[in-house]
């Protein structure tokens, strides 16, 4: 199972959350208009929070504020990085 494979990596759980949500928000930030990417980022934060809340109903899983915060931080970092990449690409294309 995927969760067992991730557990075997010996990586802090928050790094996995941050990395996953970084990638989840990086792609729309690069591809979509800024307003659309912002809305998608907000939805990603809500999705992360909803998934954490849903863990209350799953055996051997618990809600963790640290995971929700890592999800949100990943979204902010991914969206910011994506916009920076877009601006860099625009500057290079204008040369």
Measure the CA–CA gap between 37 and 28, rounded to whole angstroms. 5
Q: Domain ranges for the chain, please list them.
A: 13-94
Which residue, among 77, 56, 15, has the nearest Cα to 6 in the 3D structure? 15
Residue-wise pLDDT for 62-94, tens only, equals: 999 999 999 999 999 999 999 999 999 999 999
pLDDT at 63: 92
Q: What is the largest CA-CA distance in the chain?
A: 57
Start-to-end Cα distance in the chain: 49
Q: Report pTM.
A: 0.84
Residue-wise pLDDT for 24-54, tens only, equals: 999 999 998 989 999 999 999 999 999 999 9
For residues 26 and 78, the answer to whether their CB atoms sit within 8 Å is yes
């Amino acid at each position: 199972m995927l969760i067992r494979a991730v557990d075997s990596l010996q990586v802090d759980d928050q790094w996995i959350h941050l990395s996953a949500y970084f990638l989840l928000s990086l792609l729309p930030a690069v591809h979509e208009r800024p307003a659309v990417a912002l809305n998608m980022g907000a939805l990603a934060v809500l999705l992360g929070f909803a998934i954490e809340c849903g863990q209350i109903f799953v055996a051997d899983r618990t809600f963790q504020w640290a995971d929700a915060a890592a999800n949100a931080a990943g979204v902010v970092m991914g969206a910011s990085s994506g916009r920076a990449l877009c601006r860099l690409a625009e500057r290079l294309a204008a040369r």
